[in-house]
Amino acid sequence: MTPVYFADDEYQWRGPFYFIQGADPQFGLMKAWAVGDTNNGDDEWGEEIKLAEQAVQAINKLNPKPKFFVLCGDLIHGMPGTQWRKDQEQDLKNVLKNTDQDIPLVFVSGNHDIGNTPTRETIDNYCKNWGDDYFSFWVGGVFFLVLNSQLYFDSSKCPELKQAQDVWLNEQLAVAEKQKCKHIIVFQHIPLFLRKPDEDHDYFNLEKSVRQEIMEKFHKAGIKAVFSGHYHRNAGGSYRGLEVVVSSAIGCQLGEDTHGLRVVVVTDEKIVHRYYSLNELSSQGIEKELLDMLAKQN
């Protein structure tokens, strides 16, 4: 499964469109969490298979079709080198193969995909399975950046790879400035922050000095929104016009939210999004207010 690179004619704005964001299908976590053993308790993932199937079926029914479906990391629970990892990956691929062939899949690497402290080897293995760990693409005049947030969390075993992503990101932002894109949107697994830009650092956000540097860079580049997962709950906030959107999981919930997906509508002026439970999206589809936004031609 390689990431889809969209056609060159996607540089032009052609009116509103939408995409689907999902996060953390994380095959294996529900059992591991239930038995209180997140290191070795991930030997069953039947529940997650059903949820991922429900997500794919809900997306396939949507009309009009989304431009793409992005999965913001923690595709599976098994860390690099653990026992059930290959089976979890294969089972997820088998589910995702049923996504409508007209809806491209975009994959983002999470900490369970490449390890809390990634190495060149764990990143290479991820890339062989799911495609590049960072890349950019255009859809309808909007510039999208997929980042490897683990390199911001702990790059101690591969500092040269973090440096390479930093150089690449600066180059991409320079391209975006020249192209005069309608919006710039970022996908990364770990949120910059959960609620407030100056909140304390913990497992679920980026360290404060790293966060500040990235937020400032994104703000200067005119990036409108960063979509993340990792928290297994819905959250978010803003920093100087940059919206941080944290979406709950398709898989295991760690808070009060339901298994779900986020519908993201991109209009001429703004980015509007709403989190739907899988049941709601399956049975009712997208609400009229969002569909009306899509129908407006700029």
What contacts 67, CB < 8 A, 6 or more positions away? 17, 18, 19, 103, 104, 139, 140
Question: Tokens representing 275?
Answer: 């989190």
Q: Residues near 288 by Cβ (< 8 Å), separated by ≥ 6?
A: none
Residue with tokens 């860390």: 79
Give residue-wise pLDDT tens across range 193-234: 999 999 999 999 999 999 999 999 999 999 999 999 999 999
Is the model's pLDDT at 288 over the cut of 60? yes
User: CA 178 to CA 38: how far, in whole Å?
Assistant: 46
Q: How far is CA 68 from CA 28, 50, 271, 290, in A?
A: 25, 21, 15, 17
pLDDT of residue 1: 46
Give the mean model confidence (pLDDT) for residues 92-118: 98
Q: Give pLDDT, residue 2.
A: 46
Q: How does the average pLDDT of the chain come out, rounded?
A: 96
φ, ψ of residue 250 in degrees (nearest 5): -70, -40
Output the six-digit token pair for 245: 């959107």
Average pLDDT of span 268-296: 96
Is pLDDT at 8 greater than 80 in this prediction?
no
What percentage of the chain carries pLDDT values higher than 90?
95
pLDDT of residue 3 exceeding 60, the answer is no
pLDDT at 297 (0 to 100): 66
What per-residue string of b and e applies to 122-150 under the rule 16 or more CB within 10 Å gives b?
Answer: bbebbbebbbbbbbbbbbbbbbbbbbbbb
Domains of the chain: 17-295 (3.60.21.10)
Mean pLDDT of 154-176: 97
Lookup result for tokens 């906030």:
237
* pLDDT-based confidence at residue 7 (cuts at 50, 70, 90): low
